Amino acid sequence: MFFKINLNNKISISTKINQIFQSNFKRVAFSILVLSLMLFSSSCKKTDSNGFTNKLQFGESVNTSETGWPVVNEKYTFALGQTVNFRIETKDDFGSSDFKLVLKQGGTVVTEFGYPSLQGYGHIYVSSFVAAEDGIYTVEAYVTTGNKLIDTKSLTVTM
């Protein structure tokens, strides 16, 4: 009695197992790739606003030890010679751009303060200036790169 062994069946079974393994491996590898890309893209967005808005605030001081560096005792009227602390918040990451404040009276530029960038990314900038002349001012805050207007506020300096 002779047994006939069909080698083609063995090859086809081996090929089928190999195809199944490769197919499952590709699915797992593709799933890992997609999940990794989702995690990477969600954690590295520098331009995402994350709740930030474009605004300028003045106050007696800025609490740099608290998250978000909030203005303390926000106000828009200061005495002549008093330090005016401010906080600029930008919706978009300002990159390494400088800032400027433009003080106007009746549409005429009275003075302009320039502030250098202190880091390569971010949404918040804090600093101060001294109220040197009395009057009512319109203050415009700009990101210098692109001369992008962030916010405009009214500021009163009294004698």
At residue 95, the pLDDT reads 85
In a domain, 49, yes or no: no
The tokens of 110 are what? 């009275």
Q: What total of structural domains would you count in the chain?
A: 2
> Which is it for strands 148-158 and 77-79: parallel, antiparallel or unpaired?
parallel
Report the predicted TM-score, pTM, of the whole model to 2 decimal places.
Answer: 0.66
Residues 67, 18 share a domain: no
Return d(Cα 114, Cα 101) in angstroms, integer: 7
136: domain range? 55-158
> In which element (H, E) is residue 114 found?
strand 108-115
Using CA of residue 87, residue 93, residue 96, residue 100, what is the dihedral sign? Answer: negative
φ, ψ for residue 78, nearest 5 deg: -135, 155
Spatial contact of 92 and 47, defined as CB atoms under 8 Å apart: yes
The tokens of 102 are what? 């433009």
pLDDT tens, per residue, the chain with 159 residues = 554 555 555 556 556 656 665 666 666 655 565 555 454 443 334 445 578 999 999 998 888 788 888 788 889 999 999 999 899 999 988 888 899 999 999 999 999 999 888 888 888 888 888 988 899 999 999 999 889 999 999 999 998
At residue 122, the pLDDT reads 86
At residue 62, the pLDDT reads 83
* Per-position DSSP letters for 60-71, written without gaps between them: EEE-TTSTT-PE
86: domain CATH number?
2.70.50.60
Q: How far is CA 69 from the centre of its chain?
A: 15
Residues 69, 96 share a domain: yes
Residues 59, 40 share a domain: no
